[in-house]
């Protein structure tokens, strides 16, 4: 599975890919570590197809779930310390590991690249104007080869044909799922829906 062992040249991380992979292995359970490796590979493929820097795609794919296993208290402390929007306190890890977790990536992995950090920040909720790299991480997380849900093959096909339509597809599916299960919807997810879904002719 782990086929593209890229060598980093751009100083986006101040150490090697190998070292970054080691840090992720230490921060994550094995199954989540395997997931981030698959997201990395999928992100690189989508980057090559969409004229996006594959090194950034590799890094963003690897670090997108860096904070996923942190205790709630770490996020609550960061929300208070950095005076992030208090509405975040009404949600949990699913929202926090992106919307707050990017700060841990910045502070602990010494990654200051705003494009990578925003790709981490928005990988679960998206936002109105997602850059191609943000779209790639959002989609790679959804369609990586380990994913198995009804509609995933269609999601893969749409995404490799048209990255933006993939974003619309996932956004629609996610919002439908949350509503069908009476789950709370983070307000920004609605903004993502409004700016992405109506402009595509999805089924
Ligand atoms: Fe995630
Ligand atoms: Fe993920």
What pLDDT, on the 0 to 100 scale, is given for residue 174? 96
What is the rounded average pLDDT of the residues 3-8? Answer: 79
Torsion 134-51-196-40 (CA) sign: negative
Distance CA 60, CA 97 (A): 14
Integer angstrom CA distances of residue 202 from 92, 146, 164: 30, 24, 12
**pTM for this model (two decimals):** 0.96
Read off the pLDDT of residues 100-120 as tens digits, 9 standing for 90 and up: 999 999 999 999 999 999 999
State the distance from the centre of ligand 2 to the C-alpha of 64, rounded, in angstroms.
6
Distance CA 2, CA 175 (A): 32
What is the three-class DSSP state of 134? Answer: helix
Q: Which of 106, 98, 90 is nearest to 39 (CA)?
A: 98
Per-residue pLDDT at 3 exceeds 60: no
Q: Which residues contact 115 (CB under 8 A, 6 or more apart)?
A: 56, 60, 131, 133, 134
Per-residue pLDDT at 94 exceeds 70: yes
What pLDDT, on the 0 to 100 scale, is given for residue 5? 80
Please check whether residue 155 is in contact with residue 170, taking contact to mean a CB–CB distance below 8 angstroms: yes
Per-residue pLDDT at 2 exceeds 60: no
Higher-pLDDT residue of 9 and 203 is: 9
Distance CA 167, CA 155 (A): 9
What pLDDT, on the 0 to 100 scale, is given for residue 83? 98
State the distance from the centre of ligand 1 to the C-alpha of 107, rounded, in angstroms.
18
Can you state the percent helix, strand and coil of the chain, rounding each to 5? 65, 0, 35
Say which residue the tokens 């190998």 belong to.
Answer: 18
State the distance from the centre of ligand 2 to the C-alpha of 57, rounded, in angstroms.
14
State the distance from the centre of ligand 1 to the C-alpha of 64, rounded, in angstroms.
6
Say which residue the tokens 């950090």 belong to.
Answer: 117
State the distance from the centre of ligand 1 to the C-alpha of 10, rounded, in angstroms.
25
Per cent of the chain over pLDDT 70 is 98
Please check whether residue 95 is in contact with residue 67, taking contact to mean a CB–CB distance below 8 angstroms: no
Q: What is the mean pLDDT of the chain?
A: 96
State the distance from the centre of ligand 2 to the C-alpha of 137, rounded, in angstroms.
9
State the distance from the centre of ligand 2 to the C-alpha of 84, rounded, in angstroms.
22
What pLDDT, on the 0 to 100 scale, is given for residue 115? 98
The two tokens of residue 4 are 């593209």
Segment (H or E) for 117: helix 114-121
Per-residue pLDDT at 39 exceeds 70: yes
Reported as a pLDDT band with limits 50, 70 and 90, residue 203 is confident
Per-residue pLDDT at 21 exceeds 50: yes
Reported as a pLDDT band with limits 50, 70 and 90, residue 4 is low
Among all bound ligands, the one having the nearest atom to the CA of 39 is 2
Reported as a pLDDT band with limits 50, 70 and 90, residue 1 is very low
Please check whether residue 158 is in contact with residue 171, taking contact to mean a CB–CB distance below 8 angstroms: no
């Amino acid at each position: 599975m782990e086929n593209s062992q890229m060598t980093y040249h751009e100083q986006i991380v101040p150490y090697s890919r190998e070292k970054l992979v080691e840090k992720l292995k230490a921060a994550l359970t094995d199954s989540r570590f395997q997931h981030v490796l698959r997201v990395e590979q999928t992100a690189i493929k989508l980057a090559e197809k969409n004229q996006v820097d594959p090194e950034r795609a590799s890094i963003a794919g690897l670090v997108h779930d860096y904070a996923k296993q942190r205790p709630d208290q770490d996020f609550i402390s960061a929300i208070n310390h950095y005076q992030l929007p208090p509405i975040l306190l009404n949600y949990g890890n699913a929202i926090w590991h992106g919307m707050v977790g990017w700060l841990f990536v910045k502070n602990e992995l010494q990654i200051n690249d705003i494009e990578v950090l925003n790709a981490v920040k928005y990988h679960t909720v998206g936002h109105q104007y997602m850059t191609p790299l943000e779209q790639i991480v959002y989609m790679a997380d959804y369609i990586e080869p380990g994913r198995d849900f009804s509609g995933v093959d269609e999601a893969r096909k749409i995404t490799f044909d048209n990255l933006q339509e993939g974003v619309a597809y996932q956004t629609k599916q996610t919002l439908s799922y949350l509503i069908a299960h009476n789950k709370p919807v983070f307000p920004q997810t609605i903004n993502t829906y409004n700016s992405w879904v109506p402009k595509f002719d999805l089924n």
